[in-house]
């Protein structure tokens, strides 16, 4: 085998591994942004429809790395734990925003709890539970997120590609 042929094999292998990595990162970029409440946005629901946000969320399929956008006027959004959600307790938020246009990344599988931070709004139904599916469709709360898995895989592919091209 000539030296040009022997160099061609590692470069081909490197290109295949590089393309595989690009494909994985491309799959990761297919995240969806959901607008909470669709056109109605994030506001106090009508008295006869206090479950509107949970109904909205139950009709969506959220995945790790998707985002949800809250649009609102003179209000706020808080991410809280389950107990604070059930009690409409806004004194210990895990996350708070009052910008009027808040984007939250769903960075893990499991349940996310959101309430309005405006006085009385949560009690009037301005709250929502979002369930984010795991890779197998479950709501696992432990383990790596899709992002971490893809990044780890990408790093592994780059290391193998480097090894096959430069160390052989």
Q: Domain ranges for the chain, please list them.
A: 16-166
Residues 168 and 13: beta-carbon distance below 8 Å: no
Q: pTM (2 decimals)?
A: 0.67
Helix extents (H) in the chain: 3-28, 52-58, 82-87, 146-166
Q: What is the number of helices (H) and of strands (E) in the chain?
A: 4, 8
Region of poorest pLDDT, from 6-15, 21-30, 55-64, 84-93:
21-30
Neighbours of 4 (CB within 10 A): 7
Give me the pLDDT at residue 1, please.
54
CATH number, domain 16-166, options 2.40.50.140, 1.10.1520.10, 2.60.40.420, 3.20.20.70:
2.60.40.420
Q: For residues 36 and 23, what is the distance between their CA atoms, to the nearest angstrom? A: 30
The pLDDT mean for the chain works out to 81
The candidate with the shortest Cα–Cα distance to 53, out of 131, 129, 116, 133, is 129
């Amino acid at each position: 085998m000539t030296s040009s042929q022997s160099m061609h094999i590692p470069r081909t292998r490197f290109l295949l591994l590089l393309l595989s990595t690009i494909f994985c990162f491309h799959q990761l970029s297919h995240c969806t942004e959901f607008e909470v409440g669709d056109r109605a946005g994030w506001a106090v629901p009508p008295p006869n429809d206090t479950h509107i946000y949970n109904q909205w969320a139950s009709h969506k399929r959220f995945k790790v790395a998707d985002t949800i956008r809250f649009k609102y006027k003179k209000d706020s959004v808080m991410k809280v734990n389950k107990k604070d959600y059930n009690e409409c307790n806004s004194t210990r938020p895990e996350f708070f925003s009052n910008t009027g246009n808040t984007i939250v990344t769903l960075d893990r599988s499991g349940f996310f709890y959101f309430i309005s931070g405006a006085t009385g709004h949560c009690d009037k139904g301005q709250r929502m539970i979002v369930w984010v599916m795991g890779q197998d469709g479950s709501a696992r709360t432990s383990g790596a997120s899709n992002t971490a898995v893809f990044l780890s895989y990408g790093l592994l592919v780059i290391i193998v590609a480097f090894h096959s091209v430069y160390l052989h």
